[in-house]
Amino acid sequence: MKQQATRYDPSVDPHTEPPVTEPSIMDPRVMDPHEELVRRSGLDDGDVDQVVRVLEALRHWRETERRASEASRRYMNLGETDMKAVRFVIALRNQGRVATPGAIAAHLGITTASTTKLLDRLVAGGHVRRFPHPSDRRSLAIEVSDETRRVARETVGRSHARRFDAAARLTPAEREIVTRFLEDLASGDASPAGDASR
């Protein structure tokens, strides 16, 4: 049988080096090769690769959330604290409660003077209105405008709905694992240096 000649493919250069994969900044083998901070004892490369994928996914989610939050605030022309105040007032109304300047100050952890300035900005922007408290003459009630509520629902509300749906798709056991992981990160227990007993 006659041997078939190999056809030359000009698109394939045998001397071309394979593409270089960008190292992950989450990979301790790259960022901490001498294990000065991140201990990897007991973990093989497969384990480390999986941990890095978790951290990369977490970083990607945080970046996505940050961009979405910034886009919403730019669209509504609100600062971060202003947006938190608007969301808080909406949440109180959804619970049938009255939002007051004092409640907003306590929620945001700011002074009453700062709260007054914040509300002045929101009123000037047409986002909220002040009116007499229905049961406390010494206080005011704060209400979000219909348009701001609608926009917040379409932006922040839909983002929260997607997060809820993602968590709802997990099994009860998976939710417990995710909760422990996130609480561990939030509390600072997941220190890069690790626990000396580990």
Q: What pLDDT, on a 0 to 100 scale, did the predictor assign at position 15?
A: 54
Q: How far apart are CA 121 and CA 196, in angstroms?
A: 50
Per-residue pLDDT of the chain in tens (198 residues, 90 and over written 9): 444 444 445 555 555 555 545 667 788 888 878 878 888 888 888 998 899 999 999 999 999 888 887 877 777 778 889 999 999 999 999 999 999 999 999 999 999 999 999 999 999 999 999 999 999 888 999 999 999 999 888 888 888 899 999 999 999 999 999 999 999 998 875 444 444 444
Set out the domains of the chain in order of their start, with CATH numbers: 79-178 (1.10.10.10)
Structure tokens at 155: 């932006």
- Give the CA distances from residue 86 to residues 17, 32, 35, 80, in Å, rounded to whole numbers and listed in that order: 55, 42, 45, 10
For CA atoms 184, 52, 167, 170, the dihedral sign is negative
196 vs 198: CA distance, rounded Å: 5
- Contacts with 118 (C-beta within 8 Å, 6 or more apart), sequence order: 81, 82, 85, 104, 108, 110
Terminal Cα-to-Cα distance of the chain (whole angstroms): 66
Q: State the pLDDT at residue 190.
A: 44
Rounded to two decimals, the pTM is 0.62
Sign of CA dihedral 88, 93, 94, 97: positive
